[in-house]
Structure 1
Amino acid sequence: MYQQETAFSGPDTWRETMEQKLMGHTGAACEDAVVDMSPDKSVLILLKHCRDMKQQETRLRLITLFLLLGCTALFIFTLCANSRQHGNSGFSGQGNPAEHSLAYSKQECSPTETAQNEFQSVRNDLRSVFENNVDDKTYMKWQSVIGENYSEKDRAVVIPVTGFYFVYVRFALRCHDDDEGFKTFSVQLHRLPFGYNDNVSLADSRDSIKCPSERYRTVFVGQLFELEEEDQVKVSLREGYKLIASSSFGIFRV
């Protein structure tokens, strides 16, 4: 009687029975899932994930290191190949390596040697040459001690290169036994520009010596001038030629 009553009960009773069964199965499944996902298992999963990421990062670092080493080796190999190629090309021309080396050294040293030669070529030091029966107002005659730019015909130093030059002239004066009173001495530095016929005065000096009480006196004239190529520089004596005991004349490029 009970089974028949349950089987043939109304639709509402059957639906309630099915809902209770479904709810019972769902609750049991959720409880199983919660039990399966325990805290220890979550920590293990997290640790495994971190370990995998660290291994991947280590692999990436190793790959990057290998790439850098490869690029460095390639760069060094390229440099060595280029240097070897240039070294071989330096001796690939005609002549032996010693000739090439000598030519290269000459080429490298030529500017310095040229500058030194120019400096030496414009350095002049001269000593006076005394002449008999010479009146005042004359150009001094010199003998070259250093340098080759002195023109005996013009009695002048010829400037080979345009530039700044220091020009000087020094006189040692003395009184003779028969000299009395003040004796005057006068000298000028003259420049004759290239292509001109008139001399230009560069410097002028005047002095006097009292004879016989003052036996010796020194007169010096020196100054820096800008001179051009082929200019002539000479010493013009105006007065007091017989008072000269010795003299020197010099010019050099600065």
Structure 2
Amino acid sequence: MGQKLMGHTGAVCGDAVVDMSPDKSVLILLKHCQDMKQQETRLRFITLFLLLGCTALFIFTICADLRQHGSSGFSGQGNPAEHSLAYSKQECSHTKAAQNEFQSVRNDLRSVFENNVDNKTYMKWQPVIGENYSEKERAIVIPVTGFYFVYAHFALRCHDKDEGFKRFSVQLHRRPFGYNDNVSLTDFRDAIKCSSEPYRNIFVGQLFELEREDQVKVWLREGYKLIASSSFGIFRI
């Protein structure tokens, strides 16, 4: 008996190849592939429109917020350029004030020696840095309440005829504002041996809390004639 061979027809859908024997099945499969491609195209267009709409809404929201803040920031304040200039001038004035305050709370003085003066006297000074020295009171006047480092340096020297030990004694005094009495801040005593150590450097310094208008001065009790040079000063911490 003879046998009939049924031919197979190949139908292409996308990248896949499907072998269908009946012609009708092939037509149905091709139509189904076309419908799938159309739905995929529509979905892509819908997704694209949604992305564009969300992006446009986001940009619009940002622009509206910027316009609102910009109008509220400059409303009633004149030209923005004038506002910026006024702010810059204000910053400069604050900077200068801070610099002046720093300079006004730093003082450095050099001693002025007087004839016919021995001991038990407030030392006289000449300003080197700062403008808060009162020549009448021989004291530094504190301009701002705060913590200050107060210091005094003395270079001592024996004279040719000096022998043995020569004593040196000094105090830092404070006169609070509104009072007539001086208060001792610190007391320093030492001695120099003229026969073996005719020269000596002495430094006195300490941190104090001082108030505005307080007076700080140096009280020399003993050893005035031993001083070759000296300095006295304060600076705010």
- Structure 1 length-normalised TM: 0.73
Q: Give the aligned residue type for 1:92.
A: N
Q: Provide the C-alpha distance between the structure 2 equivalents of 1:239 and 1:232, rounded to a whole number of angstroms.
A: 22
1:92 and 2:75 correspond: no
Match of 1:237 among 196, 207, 220: 220
Instruction: Describe the superposition over 1:42-101 as per-residue Cα deviations: whole angstroms up to 9, x where unpaired.
Output: 7556545543542342122111222133224424644675687667976539xxx67x65
1:213 and 2:199 correspond: no
- Aligned to 1:235, the other structure's residue is in SS state strand
Instruction: Describe the superposition over 1:175-226 as per-residue Cα deviations: whole angstroms up to 9, x where unpaired.
Output: 0111111000001111111122222211111111112432211110011111
In the other structure, the counterpart of 1:55 is 41
1:174 and 2:157 correspond: yes
In the other structure, the counterpart of 2:233 is 250
Q: Provide the C-alpha distance between the structure 2 equivalents of 1:157 and 1:57, rounded to a whole number of angstroms.
A: 87
Instruction: Describe the superposition over 1:110-166 as per-residue Cα deviations: whole angstroms up to 9, x where unpaired.
Output: 333222211101110100011111131111110101100001111110111111111
- Aligned to 2:216, the other structure's residue is in SS state strand
Map 1:133-172 → 2, pairs under 5 A? 133-172=116-155
- Aligned to 2:191, the other structure's residue is in SS state strand
Q: Give the aligned residue type for 1:149.
A: N
- 8 A Cα contact 1:177 1:212, kept in partner: no
- 8 A Cα contact 1:123 1:250, kept in partner: yes
In the other structure, the counterpart of 2:11 is none
What stretches of structure 1 of length at least 5 have no aligned partner?
A: 1-37
In the other structure, the counterpart of 1:227 is 210
Map 1:11-50 → 2, pairs under 5 A? 43=29, 47=33, 50=36
In the other structure, the counterpart of 2:5 is none
In the other structure, the counterpart of 2:55 is 69
What stretches of structure 2 of length at least 5 have no aligned partner?
A: 1-23
- 8 A Cα contact 1:188 1:237, kept in partner: yes
Decide which structure has greater strand share.
Answer: 2
In the other structure, the counterpart of 2:15 is none
Q: How many residues align?
A: 215
Match of 2:168 among 163, 185, 188: 185
Structure 1 window deviating more from structure 2 (142-151 vs 191-200): it is 191-200
Q: Give the aligned residue type for 1:156.
A: A
Q: Provide the C-alpha distance between the structure 2 equivalents of 1:194 and 1:127, rounded to a whole number of angstroms.
A: 25
Q: Provide the C-alpha distance between the structure 2 equivalents of 1:118 and 1:84, rounded to a whole number of angstroms.
A: 37
Q: Give the aligned residue type for 1:129.
A: V
**Which structure has the larger Rg over C-alpha atoms?**
1
